[in-house]
Amino acid sequence: MKIKTISCKRILNLGSYESRHFDTTADIYEGEDPDVESSKLIEFVERKIRERVDLEIEATDLKEQIADLKYELARLEEQKAALTTVEPDPGDVPFESGEVSNSSDFPGGF
């Protein structure tokens, strides 16, 4: 028997009634060992089916980190705003223009 093509199908259970299917076919050329080529194909399928899942997990982790950083940034901006509020200059308090009388309306000059 001469093997000309090999195929490998893998179903990965993702949980929550979800799964990922990946299958591929490879040609075997003259002089190649079908056992060696089958092992290569199996390794390829295993790597590829998990590659996408790993990327999805990494993307979810990055989205969570972004949300945390946005929250932290907003908190730091609030702290900065509280620290950079300028106290009013006592010499810059607006009074009516004109001379100030030293007299008091209180008896005894208080």
Q: Which is it for the CA torsion 49, 50, 55, 56, positive or negative?
A: positive
Query: Using an 8 Å Cβ cutoff, are 21 and 11 in contact?
Result: yes
Domain boundaries, the chain: 5-84
The model scores a pTM over 0.85: no
Q: Are 49 and 10 in contact (CB under 8 A)?
A: yes
What would the mean pLDDT of 14-36 be, rounded to a whole number? 88
Cα 108 to Cα 34: distance, rounded to the nearest angstrom: 117
Mean predicted confidence (pLDDT) in 58-82: 91
pLDDT band at residue 81 using 50, 70 and 90 as cut-offs? confident
